[in-house]
């Protein structure tokens, strides 16, 4: 297959989006404590105001501002106390003030709170040491949220702040997309689990924990199957089993042109291939298709290819299945050193993203670009996206960045 027959990265994303949109996972209700980082499946419309009632922003005395000037000489009579909690329905009479604490309902007739620090209390009278403007330190009912307002939207990822807003509005549960169930397979006769001795020619299975960790960062609880040998019958039977029990089957290895790369054939014969081979580097031989009930994403075996294809394509599939609305926030940063890109495919380089002294994001590319160079990946914190085409990039040029970690803003 030549470069021209392979699809572009953008086409691969569009294909994943299409397939995922047609296979949205159903919604389920979960308590707020289980909803962190889930994708909301309903709009949340406020049926309360926030704040729910006018209340004090400070500990001090509820007063009427217009009375303060006059009160500086004779003081205000301390008539009652209103603490945060049950509203005692006090009403403020002229010449009076009411002791109040932060969050306590503002008594009728009061319009301002005099901070404790700005008042002297003598013989049951309060002498103002300042004259705050009307409304000072009063939190008005509905100034944050009005009833009927849509405060959270279906498709958004729930973070700590949005969940706490739902709680403030009295919601105990939210409807969220079910998390996809994911089976992880590593394949290859050369693989041994870490902790066991290696025979000549063998290597440790590093992709298993890589995929488990990447999936856990997405809130999934992956089920990792034992390493599969390069045996078509065993591979096929394990994948068939998984294909009827999981939403997504992730494999790594066995998708390029080697004599033992059986996966594309298996999908072609027993399922469907949506695409195989994408004009990206690393990760070119990536395979996407269906087997049984499952979406199968066959990642190339090289560790850095796994990282790039999962972050670039795998996450997109998980997002799409859950109906995640907004795309993950994208970052751009300026290159700190030159890059000579001498091939046509879209490239994901590894790099270190940091904020420069000027407040701008900068990225230092790691020159070890080969897809087995796991160390370079571990020394980095992001992927640098270089579009298709041969090009020389000068220091200072601005490039797209995919941070390893979920990203900013509910990522």
281 binds ligand MOO (CB under 6 A): yes
Applying the rule CB under 6 A, the residues between 324 and 363 that interact with ligand MOO are: none
309 binds ligand LQZAQKY5 (CB under 6 A): no
- Least separation in angstroms between CB 308 and ligand MOO: 7
The two structure tokens encoding residue 73: 């000489």
- Least separation in angstroms between CB 10 and ligand MOO: 17
Q: Which residues contact 177 (CB under 8 A, 6 or more apart)?
A: 24, 25, 26, 27, 28, 38, 39, 41, 321, 322, 323
Distance from C-alpha of 13 to C-alpha of 98, rounded to nearest angstrom? 63
Q: Which residue minimizes CB distance to ligand LQZAQKY5? A: 301
Q: Which residues contact 193 (CB under 8 A, 6 or more apart)?
A: 204, 205, 208, 227
The conformational region for residue 329 under phi > 0 = left, psi -120 to 50 = alpha, else beta, is beta
312 binds ligand LQZAQKY5 (CB under 6 A): no
- Letters for 188-227 (x = contact with ligand LQZAQKY5 by CB under 6 A, - = none) are x-xx-----------x-xxxx-------------------
Applying the rule CB under 6 A, the residues between 350 and 369 that interact with ligand LQZAQKY5 are: none
Q: Near ligand LQZAQKY5 by CB under 6 A, which window of 124-132, 141-149, 231-239, 301-309? A: 301-309
Nearest to ligand LQZAQKY5 of 61, 348 (CB atom): 348
The two structure tokens encoding residue 122: 């003598």
Q: Near ligand MOO by CB under 6 A, which window of 165-173, 278-286, 353-361, 398-406? A: 278-286
Q: Which residues contact 258 (CB under 8 A, 6 or more apart)?
A: none
> Exactly one of 59, 96, 247, 261 binds ligand LQZAQKY5 (CB under 6 A); which one?
261
Distance from C-alpha of 336 to C-alpha of 353, rounded to nearest angstrom? 10
Asked if omega into 51 is within 30° of 0 (cis), the reply is yes
3-state secondary structure of 376: helix
Q: Which does 384 bind (CB under 5 to 8 A by kind): ligand LQZAQKY5, ligand MOO, none?
A: none
Nearest to ligand MOO of 76, 280 (CB atom): 280
- Least separation in angstroms between CB 284 and ligand LQZAQKY5: 5
Nearest to ligand LQZAQKY5 of 163, 211 (CB atom): 211
Applying the rule CB under 6 A, the residues between 289 and 318 that interact with ligand MOO are: 300, 302, 305
Residue in this structure with the two tokens 């106390």, named with its chain if needed: 81
Q: Where are the beta strands (DSSP E) in 101-165?
A: 112-115, 119-122, 125-128, 138-139, 150-152
Nearest to 69 by CA among 115, 123, 114: 114
Applying the rule CB under 6 A, the residues between 220 and 259 that interact with ligand LQZAQKY5 are: 252-258
Burial, 292: exposed, middle or buried (Cβ in 10 Å; 0-12, 13-18, 19+)? middle
- Least separation in angstroms between CB 404 and ligand LQZAQKY5: 18
The two structure tokens encoding residue 135: 């409304």
**Helices 263-270 and 232-243 meet at what angle, rounded to 10?**
50
> Exactly one of 371, 382, 385, 399 binds ligand MOO (CB under 6 A); which one?
371
Applying the rule CB under 6 A, the residues between 154 and 193 that interact with ligand LQZAQKY5 are: 186, 188, 190-191
Nearest to 313 by CA among 344, 291, 346: 346
Footprint on this chain of ligand LQZAQKY5 (rule: CB under 6 A): 186, 188, 190-191, 203, 205-208, 252-258, 261, 282, 284-285, 300-303, 305, 371
Footprint on this chain of ligand MOO (rule: CB under 6 A): 281-284, 300, 302, 305, 371
């Amino acid at each position: 297959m030549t470069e021209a027959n392979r699809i572009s990265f953008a086409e691969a994303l569009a294909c994943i989006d299409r397939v995922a949109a047609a296979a949205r996972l159903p919604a389920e209700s979960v308590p707020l404590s289980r909803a962190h980082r889930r994708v909301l499946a309903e709009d949340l419309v406020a049926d309360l105001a926030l704040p729910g009632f006018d209340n004090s922003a400070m500990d001090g005395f509820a007063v009427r501002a217009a009375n303060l000037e006059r009160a500086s000489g004779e003081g205000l009579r301390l008539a009652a106390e209103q603490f945060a909690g049950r509203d005692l329905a006090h009403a403020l009479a002229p010449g009076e003030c009411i002791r109040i604490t932060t969050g306590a309902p503002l008594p009728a007739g009061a319009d301002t709170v005099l901070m404790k620090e700005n008042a002297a209390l003598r013989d049951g009278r309060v002498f103002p040491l300042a004259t705050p403007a009307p409304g000072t330190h009063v939190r008005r009912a509905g100034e944050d949220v009005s009833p009927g307002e849509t405060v959270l939207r279906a498709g958004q990822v729930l973070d700590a702040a949005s969940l706490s807003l739902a709680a403030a509005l009295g919601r105990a549960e939210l409807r969220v997309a079910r998390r996809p169930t994911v089976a992880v397979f590593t394949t290859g006769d050369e693989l041994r689990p870490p902790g066991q001795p290696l025979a000549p020619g063998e290597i440790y299975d590093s992709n298993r924990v890589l995929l488990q960790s990447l999936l856990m960062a997405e809130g999934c609880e992956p089920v990792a199957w034992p390493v599969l040998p390069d045996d078509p019958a065993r591979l096929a039977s394990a994948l068939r089993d998984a294909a009827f029990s999981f939403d997504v089957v992730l494999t790594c290895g066995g998708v390029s042109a080697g004599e033992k790369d059986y996966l594309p054939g298996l999908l072609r014969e027993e399922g469907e291939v949506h695409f195989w081979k994408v004009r990206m580097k690393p990760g070119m031989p990536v395979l996407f298709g269906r087997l049984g009930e499952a979406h199968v994403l066959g990642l190339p075996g090289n560790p850095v290819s796994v990282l790039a294809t999962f972050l670039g394509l795998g996450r997109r599939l998980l997002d799409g299945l859950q109906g995640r609305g907004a795309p993950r926030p994208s970052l751009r940063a300026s290159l700190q050193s030159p890059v000579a890109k001498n091939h046509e495919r879209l490239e994901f380089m590894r790099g270190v993203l940091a904020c420069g002294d000027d407040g701008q994001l900068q990225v230092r590319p790691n020159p070890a670009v080969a897809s087995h160079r796991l160390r370079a990946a571990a020394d980095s914190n992001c992927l640098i996206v270089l579009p298709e085409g041969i090009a020389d990039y000068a220091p200072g040029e601005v490039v797209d960045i995919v941070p390893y970690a979920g990203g900013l803003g509910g990522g």
